[in-house]
Amino acid sequence: EAGVVQSPRYKIIEKKQPVAFWCNPISGHNTLYWYLQNLGQGPELLIRYENEEAVDDSQLPKDRFSAERLKGVDSTLKIQPAELGDSAVYLCASSLGTDGGEQFFGPGTRLTVL
């Protein structure tokens, strides 16, 4: 069974440019998560979807970040415009249930903003 797929794996952009990350969760997993992981830190939740509905986006900086999961499968996370402080690893995870625990993570996208 394929795991959570993310692309690109690495992205380098200049500040003020837009950037988008893509995630394909494990087949059949209804819940999808986007996390931000700064160096030396644990992942921090940005947004959680149950099917196509964003059920928790309280930590998403909505002035520059947006996300969508239109058909309840793949998801895209966008930053526009990117700032230097956005340099981090963006992790996508999915789970079968909604209790939030047993999540399966993708390899992440490492974003560097110059």
Partner 1 sequence: GEDVEQSLFLSVREGDSSVINCTYTDSSSTYLYWYKQEPGAGLQLLTYIFSNMDMKQDQRLTVLLNKKDKHLSLRIADTQTGDSAIYFCAEVSGNTPLVFGKGTRLSVIA
Q: How many residues bind partner 1 (CB under 8 A)?
A: 23
Least spacing, CB of residue 38 vs partner 1, in Å: 10
Q: How far apart are CA 27 and CA 5, in angstroms?
A: 11
Least spacing, CB of residue 47 vs partner 1, in Å: 10
Q: Among 39, 14, 16, which Cα is nearest to 113's?
A: 14
Distance of CA 15 to the CA centre of its chain: 19
**Which listed residue (21, 34, 36, 43) binds partner 1 by CB under 8 A?**
43
Candidates 12-20, 61-69, 71-79, 99-107 — which segment interacts with partner 1 by CB under 8 A?
99-107
Q: What are residue 84's phi and psi, to 5 degrees?
A: -55, -40
